[in-house]
Structure 1
C-alpha cells in the first residue's frame, strides 16, 4: 500500500490543527476517523527544503491547496517534491488546461501553473500527473460568480452563448484522482489527465436551468469588453478575473473523447444530475 500525503487536507498548517473553529475541527475529526494520520506543516510559510523533509517518507504527494494561494506557492511545493524525489507527484493543476493559456496573459495569473508544468517536463527524477477538470461545477451556480443566479431568475453567458466550458464536481475529481493513483493506464504514463463531468454551452445551461425550475429566466450576455471593463474597475476581484478567463475560452474545454472518465467509462455528475440533487440549495444561494 502506497503512503499518500494530500497537501491541504492531510498536511495542514499548525494554526488549522489548533483552530477553535468548529468547522475546521469537524473536518480534522472526520479525516482522523478514517484512520488517516494528520501531518502538520506550513506549505505557505515553510521553505521548499523544509517541505521536502516532510514529503520524503511518502510515495505519493497530491497538492490540493491551490485556489487563492499566494503567488509562488505551487512552484515551491513542486520544488519540494523534486528535492524529496517523491516517486509520484500530483501538482495543483485542477482547473484549466494551462498549456492552452497564452504566455504573459491575464496579467500573469497562471504563470506559476505554466512554470510548474515546465519544471516537471524538464526533469526525469519523479513521475507526475497533471489533472485538468475545467470549472468546479458548483461555481456555475454561485451568484457571486455571476453565471446562474437562481433566486433572481437570471442566467448569464460569459463571452458568447455558444462558448463551451468543461465542468466537474469536486467530489468526482477526488474519485478520479484515486482512479489514476490506483489504476494508472498501462499503455502510457498518465502525465496529462483530462476530466469532465459535463461540457456545456451557456445556452444549453440556460435551457437546463429553466427546465429544472419550470420557469423562464432572464438571459444576459456579458461580452468580453464588458467583463474586461468590470475587471479594470475592480482589479483585485478574483471572480471578475475568472469571468474574463472563461469568456475568452483558452483551455476551458476539450473533446469528450480526451476525458479520462469517458475512456474508463466511469459516469460522473452532469449538470442535470447536479440540478436534480441540489436544486433547493441552488435556489437559496445569495
Structure 2
C-alpha cells in the first residue's frame, strides 16, 4: 500500500466535502504516494447491483475530478466490527463521515471506532499497513462540555466514543483526533430548526439573544479535516476546535435583517428561552428538533472561542455567517 492511504467513510455531503478538501490540499496534490478511497454501500458502487444513474454520476465525479482511486464496499450500520476491521486494515488513515443520527442504528459510531482499534491491533495484515490515524464522527459540539444525559440523547454515544479512544490511548495503536466543528451552517437556516425562518420572516433565539453558537460550512469542515489529516503537526490524541464563526443569536438576527430586511418588511424576533423549550420537550419528548434546541439553549459546549480554533491558529480563513448570507436568496 502507499505510505499514506486514506479511507473516507461515506460520500454524502460531508464525505464529499472531506474528499474534496483532501484532493485540493497542496500536500495531496504534490504527493505521489497518497491515495484516496471511499467506503460506500456495495449497491452504490458502479457495476455492483446496478447503482442508479445519480450515484454513477457522483462516483464518476469522485473518481475523475477528485482523484478517488478506490471504491470500497461496506456498511457501518450493518457490518460487524470484525468485518469492518478487515475493511479498514489496508489503510493508514480512516476518516468517518457517516453514521450519525436516525439513519443508522444506535451504537454505530462506537462499533466503527472499535473496528478501527481492532484493525490497528491486528497482527495479521498480509503485508499491509495498519490504521495509524483516525478522525471519528465527532463533527459537531464539544460533547465533553455538554456532558452525559443532555436533552439530545444522541450525544451520549459521542461521549462513549471519546471514552473508548482515551482508554486505548496508552496502547499507542492509533493516533486519533476529534474535531469539534459546531453546527453545520445550513442547519441554522433551516425553517424547521426554527432559528432563522425566512419564509415567515422570523428570527428566534435559543436561550437568550446573548447565547452564542459556533457554525461551520461542510465545505470548510472538509478543508480543515484535510489540513488536520495531512498536516497534523502537534495535534495528536486530542480534541480540537474548528469554526467558521461564533455568533450570538442577536447578531444572527442583525445579519439576517441587514441581508433581507430591505424587501418585504421587517423581521419578527421571538425568544425561545430555556424554560419554554423544556416545557415543549416535555410535551413532545421524542421530537428531534426540540432536543437540539434545548441543548443549544443551554449554551454549554456549543460555542468555541475563535482564538482556540485550528483554522484561526493556522491563519486559514473560513466562511462566516455574514458571507454565507450574501450567497443566500429568500
Band the TM-score falls in, shorter-chain normalisation: over 0.9
The CA RMSD over aligned residues, in Å, is 1.6
Compute the displacement of 1:190 (Å).
6.1
> 2:111 aligned with 1:76, yes or no?
yes
Aligned equivalent of 2:140: 95
Structure 2 unaligned runs (5+)? Answer: 12-37, 121-130
CA distance in 1 between partners of 2:309 and 2:237 (Å): 12
Decide whether the 8 Å contact of 1:96 with 1:135 is kept in 2: yes
Decide whether the 8 Å contact of 1:184 with 1:190 is kept in 2: no
Q: Over alpha carbons, which structure has the higher Rg? A: 2
Compute the displacement of 1:231 (Å).
2.4
Aligned equivalent of 1:31: 62
> 2:270 aligned with 1:225, yes or no?
no
Aligned length: 279
CA distance in 2 between partners of 1:61 and 1:207 (Å): 40
1:83 and 1:190, CA in 2 relative to 1: closer, same or farther beyond 3 A?
closer
Aligned equivalent of 2:78: 45
Which of 44, 60, 72 lines up with 1:16 in the alignment? 44
Decide whether the 8 Å contact of 1:41 with 1:54 is kept in 2: yes
So what's the TM-score if we normalise by structure 1? 0.92
SS at match of 1:106: coil
1:244 and 1:14, CA in 2 relative to 1: closer, same or farther beyond 3 A?
same
- Deviates most, 217-226 or 8-17: 8-17
CA distance in 2 between partners of 1:5 and 1:80 (Å): 14
Compute the displacement of 1:157 (Å).
0.4
So what's the TM-score if we normalise by structure 2? 0.80
Decide whether the 8 Å contact of 2:141 with 2:180 is kept in 1: yes
CA distance in 2 between partners of 1:235 and 1:21 (Å): 37
